Amino acid sequence: MKSTTNSGLVYSTESGRMCPDCRRPVAACACKAKAVVKGDGVVRVSRQTKGRGGKCVTVVKGVALDATALAALGKQLRAACGSGGTVKDGVIEIQGDHCELVIDTLKKLGHDPKRAGG
């Protein structure tokens, strides 16, 4: 039988989900601060339709914020556009073609966004 280094507690009935890195409950995780998006620091706004059945979404990548601040920014952008969307893996997706509106909103919030793609 092979020994793995990734083995460990992932859920506890007392405290819920456990962080795989620091082995503490997710609510008291010590390594949350390290979860900033890696990249070159440039916020890129683009429009995508691939893999979405022809539906268009506006994609925001490269925002250097932690998960909670990124979710709050996603909520602000969705409210400004008046449409739905989600935040997955450090990427904000907003339903519809709202690139210019998202760029204007990000500039007002102090970011320096760039238009990516065509």
pLDDT for position 79: 93
Q: Looking at the structure, do residues 52 and 102 belong to the same domain, yes or no?
A: yes
Q: Looking at the structure, do residues 18 and 68 belong to the same domain, yes or no?
A: no
User: What is the number of structural domains in the chain?
Assistant: 2
Q: 26-75: per-residue pLDDT in tens?
A: 777 777 645 454 556 789 999 998 888 889 999 999 888 888 888 999 99
Dist CA 67 CA 26 (whole Å)? 13
pLDDT for position 31: 73
Find out whether 25 and 17 touch, Cβ atoms under 8 Å. yes
Q: Does residue 3 form part of some domain?
A: no
Q: Does residue 27 form part of some domain?
A: yes
What range defines the domain where residue 93 resides?
38-115
Q: Looking at the structure, do residues 64 and 82 belong to the same domain, yes or no?
A: yes
Q: Looking at the structure, do residues 110 and 55 belong to the same domain, yes or no?
A: yes
Q: What is the 3-state secondary structure (H, E, C) of 47-63?
A: EECCCCCCCCEEEEECC
Q: Looking at the structure, do residues 102 and 44 belong to the same domain, yes or no?
A: yes
pLDDT classification of 103: cutoffs 50, 70, 90: very high
* CATH code (residue 60): 3.30.780.10
Phi, psi at 85, each rounded to 5°: 165, -170
Q: Does residue 63 form part of some domain?
A: yes
Q: Does residue 2 form part of some domain?
A: no
Percentage above 70 pLDDT, the chain: 81
Q: Does residue 105 form part of some domain?
A: yes
Distances in Å between the alpha carbon of 25 and those of 19, 62, 66? 6, 28, 18
Q: Looking at the structure, do residues 57 and 105 belong to the same domain, yes or no?
A: yes
Which position has the higher pLDDT, 12 or 114? Answer: 114
- Name residues whose C-beta falls within 8 Å of residue 74's C-beta, 6 or more positions apart in sequence: 85, 86, 87, 92, 94
Query: How much is the mean pLDDT over the chain?
Result: 82
- Placement of tokens 């506006």 in the chain: 58
Q: Looking at the structure, do residues 21 and 54 belong to the same domain, yes or no?
A: no
pLDDT for position 2: 55
pLDDT classification of 3: cutoffs 50, 70, 90: low
End-to-end CA distance of the chain: 52
Phi-psi group of 17: left, alpha or beta (phi > 0 → left; psi -120 to 50 → alpha; rest → beta): beta
pTM for the full predicted model: 0.67
Q: Does residue 1 form part of some domain?
A: no
